[in-house]
Homo-oligomer: A and B are copies of this chain.
Amino acid sequence: MGKPFRYTRPVQWRDTDAAGIVHFSVFFNYMEEAETALLRHCGVDVLVTNGQDRYSFPRVSAQCDYQSPLRFGDTVDVDVSVVRLGNSSASYKFQFSCDSRDVAVGQVTAVYCRLSDQHEPQAVPIPPSIRDQLSQLLP
């Protein structure tokens, strides 16, 4: 319990910029991919459609500290853990490494919401089935 979930992917050419390194914004896409892989691993759908209603996990905050650059040709490991589980929200920590070199550390907080085309997303409690799965990833 609490063992991080590992997501691994190669750096793609498009992920780089003219400085020859992975662009800082791309780490947030890597975080999303890792979060999706983790939720799928737990049997949780990222987008739930229930009749007219759609539910998903928009983010309320995201951050990343960069330690060492990634380049094309690198393969990056992303270790995800759940660091906080609120009534409607979940916070994830992402540790990026490449051949055991520390690359970056990120954190994202997502809130379970009912989506609407017209109105702002509205926070709702995380359903028990999802909560049970995520709580197993708490440290």
Contacts and interface: CB of A to CB of B under 8 A. Distances in A.
- Copy total for this chain: 4
Given A28-B25, A115-B19, A120-B68, A33 B61 contact: no
* Interface-centre pick from A18, A54, A63, A69 (highest chain B CB count, 10 A): A18
* Interface-centre pick from A45, A59, A68 (highest chain B CB count, 10 A): A59
B46 A13 contact: yes
Interface string A63-102: 1111011011100000000000000000000000000000
* Interface-centre pick from A13, A47, A54, A64 (highest chain B CB count, 10 A): A13
Interface of A: 10, 12-14, 16-21, 23-26, 28-29, 32-33, 36, 45-47, 49, 54, 56, 58-66, 68-69, 71-73, 115, 117, 120-121
B24 A12 contact: no
Contacts of A62: 24-25, 63-64, 66
Contacts of A66: 58-62
